[in-house]
């Protein structure tokens, strides 16, 4: 332990301030990189990465079903379930039919997200995994 008599006053003040800052950061987990599981759910929650399934023809065309792999929640305390959202709409796990873009010359990018919910319905504060899907009008894909 450093005492005031051991170091000059200015250095003692800096050491004291550094100790206070370190104690505050240690109490809130500061300084370490946070993961998606740091927000509202236990740290050991995991989700498998979302990807387009091999059943989905490339490129993705509006009006046709799009299938996804992944998005499976695991770990934590108690049973978990995956909540799939497509843009801002909740939908069935692993499949979605996106609309045909209004302008055939402009593909539309849709956000697919998986949220993990615990047994009481509490979820993380943001998506645990996200995939952007570009959807083309029929006959316009590159």
pLDDT tens track for 6-34 = 445 555 445 444 454 344 334 443 333 33
Q: Is the domain of 67 the same as that of 129?
A: yes
Q: Do 108 and 42 sit in the same domain of this protein?
A: yes
* 10 and 59, same domain (yes or no): no
In a domain, 141, yes or no: no
Whether 83 maps to a domain, the answer reads yes
Show the tokens assigned to 105.
Answer: 């010359």
User: Is 94 in contact with 71 (CB distance < 8 Å)?
Assistant: yes
Q: Are 139 and 105 in contact (CB under 8 A)?
A: no
- Three-state SS letters, the chain: CCCHHHCCHHHHHHHHHHHHHHHHHHHHCCCCCCCHHHCCCCCCCEECCCEECCCCCCCEECCCEEEEECCCEECCCCCCEEEEEECCEEECCCEEECCCCCCCCCCEEEEEEEEEECCCCCECCCCCEEEEEEEECCCCCC
pLDDT at residue 103 greater than cutoff 90 = yes
The band of 118, judged by pLDDT with boundaries at 50, 70 and 90, is confident
Quote the number of domains for the chain: 2
Same domain, 68 and 5: no
Residues 49 and 2 in one domain: no
Asked if the structure places residue 142 within a domain, the reply is no
pLDDT, one tens digit per residue, over 38-96 is 445 455 677 889 999 999 988 999 999 999 999 998 876 678 888 899 999 999 999 99
In this predicted structure, what is the pLDDT of residue 50?
95
Residues 59 and 95 in one domain: yes
Shared domain for 22 and 9, answered yes or no, is yes
Instruction: Confirm whether 1 is domain-assigned.
Output: yes
Domain identity same for 102 and 130: yes
50: closest CA among 95, 99, 101?
A: 95
Residue 120 lies inside a defined structural domain of this protein: yes
Q: What predicted TM-score, i.e. pTM, was given to this entire model?
A: 0.64
Do 43 and 87 fall within a single domain?
A: yes
Give the domain range for residue 21.
1-32
Give a yes or no: residue 116 inside a domain.
yes
């Amino acid at each position: 332990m450093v005492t005031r008599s051991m170091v000059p006053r200015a250095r003692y003040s800096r050491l004291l301030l550094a100790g206070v800052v370190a104690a505050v950061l240690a109490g809130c987990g500061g300084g370490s990189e946070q993961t998606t599981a740091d927000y509202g759910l236990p740290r050991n929650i995991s989700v498998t990465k979302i990807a387009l399934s091999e059943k989905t023809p490339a490129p993705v065309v509006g009006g046709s079903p799009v299938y996804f792999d992944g998005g499976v929640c695991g770990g934590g305390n108690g049973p978990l379930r995956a909540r799939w959202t497509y843009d801002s709409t909740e939908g069935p796990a692993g499949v979605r039919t996106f609309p045909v873009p209004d302008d055939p010359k402009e593909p539309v990018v849709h956000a697919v997200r998986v949220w993990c919910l615990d047994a009481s319905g509490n979820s993380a504060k943001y998506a645990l995994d996200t995939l952007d899907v570009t959807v083309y009008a029929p006959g316009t894909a590159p």
